[in-house]
Amino acid sequence: MGYVITVAQQKGGSGKTTLAVNLAVGFAKAGKSVALMDTDPQGSAGRWFMARLEAQGGEPDIDFSTASAWGVTYEVRKLADAHDIVIIDTPPKADSDLRPALRASDLVLVPVATSHLDLWAVEVVLYLAGRERKPAQIVMTRNRPGTRLAAEVAEKARELEAEVAEASLANRVVYAETLGQGRAALEAPKGPAHAEVTALVAEVQAILDQL
């Protein structure tokens, strides 16, 4: 049975899909069999996958599935039986529709852009994950290392009594560029984003290994 990672954040624009697809490709490049599930009606992860499918001539290295909120449990069970890692990209909201994905997960990742608005939106997701007794990890996305705002948001995140990942994704154009091409940062020319994604994949794997 594979591990299930749910990426959840009630605020839009937090880098949720960016985090999901970069982790999916990162785990695939680390030798894992990976499935990506999109439960967001906006279908951003699905569009990314279709672009990837076309670029790879119909032979993708990552499996893909969609499900409505209440179809998650059944679909995830099938995917987890056949893959090492299943990543669920969820809608930007935190309500009863999110609970099936949280319930099916082994780990919840909560992306937080370098913004107090993003941080304020985290508490409900953490609360719901706690109710389902699922471990949650905050991941700083669109991060601006070295700025006062980044340090302040990171400090406030720790005050929520939630784990904050040491690895983060900086505010780099390469994440947006590759997303639109059905690729991930690890598939762009080597740069700082490679180290960021690789470090995050290793950190998430270490958490999963301890579950």
Which stretches within the chain are classed as H helix? 16-29, 44-55, 72-82, 99-104, 116-120, 122-131, 148-159, 173-180, 192-209
pLDDT tens digits for 42-59? 999 999 999 999 988 878
Token pair, residue 49, equals 């996958």
Q: Please choose, from the candidates 106, 193, 211, the residue with its C-alpha nearest in 3D space to the C-alpha of residue 142.
A: 193
- Residue 142 confidence (pLDDT): 80
pLDDT tens digits for 109-159? 999 886 667 677 788 888 899 999 999 999 988 877 766 766 776 777 777
Residues in the chain: 211
* CATH code of residue 94: 3.40.50.300
- Residue 115 confidence (pLDDT): 66
One-letter identity of residue 85 = I
What is the end-to-end Cα distance of the chain in Å, rounded?
13
- Residue 116 confidence (pLDDT): 66
Confidence class of residue 96 from pLDDT cuts 50, 70 and 90?
A: confident
Contact 118, 20 (CB under 8 A): no
The predicted model scores a pTM of 0.93
Partners of 7 in the beta sheet?
Answer: 89, 109
Q: Please choose, from the candidates 7, 54, 71, 77, the residue with its C-alpha nearest in 3D space to the C-alpha of residue 181.
A: 54
- Structural domain including 84 reads 3-209
- Residue 123 confidence (pLDDT): 83
- Residue 188 confidence (pLDDT): 97
Q: How many domains does the chain have?
A: 1
